Amino acid sequence: MEVLVHIPDGYLSPQTYVPFYGAAFVFWAVALKKLKKELSTKHIPYLAMAAAFSFLIMMFNIPIPGGTTGHAVGAGIIALLLGPWTAVIAVSVSLIVQAVVFGDGGITALGANCFNMAVAMPFVSYWVFKLVKGPSTSGTRLLVAAFLSGYVGLSAAAFLTGCEFGIQPLIASGPDGRPLYAPYPLSVAVPAMALEHMLLFSVVEGVITVLLFKYFLKHEPDLIYALTVKEA
């Protein structure tokens, strides 16, 4: 049996994957610059653990009975714990290793996969957390914020992925009108990606985010970036 979890090669046209590589590079460059400024030796093990965590959590394929499979990404909790820019690096490293070593996710699609799961997702997660949390510093509101941060973050990444699939027939069709790459239109691709995530996979992501958030709140609250640092 074959279980892959990210956009493979062949589904995105060059006019899609090249710009996404460009966008990913910009975010990598800024993230590395920020990391260089802020990285203390104390944080390196956490960065490695975050990348390892994201790598492993994506291996847990969750089945929709009789349907497809999907997975959590872990980018939400990593953004809350280490900050969205550090999450960009951690999740990107995990996606790069998955693509290069395990053929999970395409090499041409790597920019897009990184943009969806390692850029859009951690930032959306982080903003949702900040927005829902408001001024409160403890209690249920924090936990609701953590859940929603994972839930909305993964749903946003799935929605983006659906859009990337869905625009392919519009921008890349052969002379006979047949799509050259991903064949399904937006009206099929976006609901397919967004709905199955909103119904199941994002819920899992939200639960994982809350549980880990609770754990760190109890054991190492000083580490939580989203509670200790004012600016993203």
Residues 2-41 contacting other proteins, CB under 8 A = 2-11, 13, 32, 35-36, 39, 41
Least distance in Å: CB of 57 to other proteins?
Answer: 7
Contact residue for other proteins among 23, 69, 211, 232 (CB under 8 A): 69
Residues in contact with other proteins, total (CB under 8 A)?
Answer: 75
Secondary element (H or E) of residue 145 = helix 140-166
Contact residue for other proteins among 26, 100, 131, 170 (CB under 8 A): 100
Contact residue for other proteins among 20, 24, 27, 71 (CB under 8 A): 71
Least distance in Å: CB of 210 to other proteins?
Answer: 16
Q: Does 219 bind other proteins (CB under 8 A)?
A: yes
Least distance in Å: CB of 67 to other proteins?
Answer: 6
C-alpha to C-alpha distance for 133 and 83, rounded to whole angstroms: 15
Which is nearest to 74 in space by CA: 193, 199, 198, 212?
A: 212
Q: Does 172 bind other proteins (CB under 8 A)?
A: yes
C-alpha to C-alpha distance for 37 and 59, rounded to whole angstroms: 32
C-alpha to C-alpha distance for 20 and 11, rounded to whole angstroms: 14
Q: Give per-residue burial for 101-129: e unless 16+ CB within 10 Å, then b.
A: eeebbbebbbbbbbbbbbbbbbbbbbbbb
Q: What is the CA radius of gyration of the chain?
A: 18
Q: Does 192 bind other proteins (CB under 8 A)?
A: yes
Least distance in Å: CB of 134 to other proteins?
Answer: 29
